[in-house]
Amino acid sequence: MIDLHLHLDGSLAPALVRELAQTQGLPLPAGSLEEALSAPADCQSLNDYLRCFDLPVAVLQTRQALTQSVQELTSRLQGQGLLYAELRFAPSQHTRQGLTQRQVVEAALAGLPQPPAQGRWSFGCQLILCCMRGGEEAANRETVAVAAHFLGKGVCAVDLAGAEALYPTQEYQPLFAYAQSLGVPFTLHAGEAAGPESVWQALELGAARIGHGVRAGEDPRLVEELARRRVPLELCPTSNLQTKAVPDLAHFPLKKYLAQGVAATVNTDNMTVSRTTLAQEFASLRLSPQERRAVLLHSVEAAFLPPAQKAALRQAVEAALAH
């Protein structure tokens, strides 16, 4: 299995959050920590969902915390049988105690496992650095510059995350023109809280992938364009249900997208906030063997990997599917 859309701060194990908070002398909420870190049952929107990130971000302000969190999460992913993952987070959100964005990324990179040996695949993981909607322009440009510095050294792309409905994608055209000038590929959150127009804007900006894109189906012409361009969608079923991007799984568009030739993938988004795993996401969708195979191979093709590593990952996925 492959997870291409996985937020570090939304996937911290509650036990680790407790440990980091106690080590740093930070207060913990009264009552259940698991509930404080998870989307409420009556979650009404993406903005409600995003409130669950306050505590995880607060504990991830030191080098040790960042390294430890990446180590713990990648170890957990390996234990769940994943072959590859791309973890994303916003370095600008982890500078409250004086770390620079570059130091934040260095600390996160120190937690990554060694890359797979050439020609053999075990488990691989890279980082995507998120720029923030509503964030300071200088901080977002710094994120892109830091990504360029570490590109191919554990960092594979940049992203645009945050409150999509409040900050239109098109406002970030200069930022992603800058990313293109530095040769940094990017995926953009779009078509989640906002509709197809946000996905169109992401395509115009040059996005290699679309984060979510669950609402792209509201515009048939957009679906045709996504299929024609082979721009992958990073779908996240449970998260999309919780943020009310879709009313229920019966209306989740994955199977329709696959039938229309869209390179759709399945991901968790936030394992802790959504109380999910990649296995649970796949189980909830009740895919046929052919659909499951298509999704996994789409994920291989969509991965921000050089050709040789992508070929090794594809071989590992094919071997897993054969069993």
| Catalytic hit among 192, 234, 281, 291 | 192
Query: Which CATH superfamily groups domain 2-27+39-322?
Result: Metal-dependent hydrolases (3.20.20.140)
Per-residue pLDDT band at 301 (split at 50, 70, 90): very high
Which pLDDT does position 173 carry in this prediction?
A: 97
Which pLDDT does position 124 carry in this prediction?
A: 94
Per-residue pLDDT band at 43 (split at 50, 70, 90): confident
Which pLDDT does position 116 carry in this prediction?
A: 66
Whether 192 is catalytic is yes
> Which tens digit of pLDDT belongs to each residue from 195-207?
999 999 999 999 9
Residue 228 in this model has a pLDDT that exceeds 70: yes
> Which tens digit of pLDDT belongs to each residue from 102-127?
999 999 999 999 876 666 788 999 99
Which pLDDT does position 157 carry in this prediction?
A: 98
SS (H, E, C) the chain: CEEEEEECCCCCCHHHHHHHHHHHCCCCCCCCHHHHCCCCCCCCCHHHHHHHHHHHHHHCCCHHHHHHHHHHHHHHHHHCCCCEEEEEECHHHHCCCCCCHHHHHHHHHCCCCCCCCCCCCCCEEEEEEEEECCCCHHHHHHHHHHHHHHECCCEEEEEEECCCCCCCHHHHHHHHHHHHHCCCCEEEEECCCCCHHHHHHHHHHCCCEEEECCCHHHCHHHHHHHHHHCCCEEECHHHHHHCCCCCCHHHCCHHHHHHCCCCEEECCECCCCCCCCHHHHHHHHCCCHHHHHHHHHHHHHHCCCCHHHHHHHHHHHHHHHHC
Which pLDDT does position 176 carry in this prediction?
A: 98
Which pLDDT does position 34 carry in this prediction?
A: 86
Does residue 242 or residue 210 have the better pLDDT?
Answer: 210
Per-residue pLDDT band at 73 (split at 50, 70, 90): very high
Lowest mean pLDDT across 28-42, 65-79, 128-142, 227-241: 28-42
Lowest mean pLDDT across 141-150, 200-209, 234-243, 261-270: 234-243
Which pLDDT does position 285 carry in this prediction?
A: 94
Residue 93 in this model has a pLDDT that exceeds 90: yes
Domain ranges of the chain: 2-27+39-322
Which pLDDT does position 32 carry in this prediction?
A: 85
Q: Is 227 within 8 Å of 233 (Cβ atoms)?
A: no
Does residue 50 or residue 134 have the better pLDDT?
Answer: 134
Q: What is the mean pLDDT of residues 211-219?
A: 95
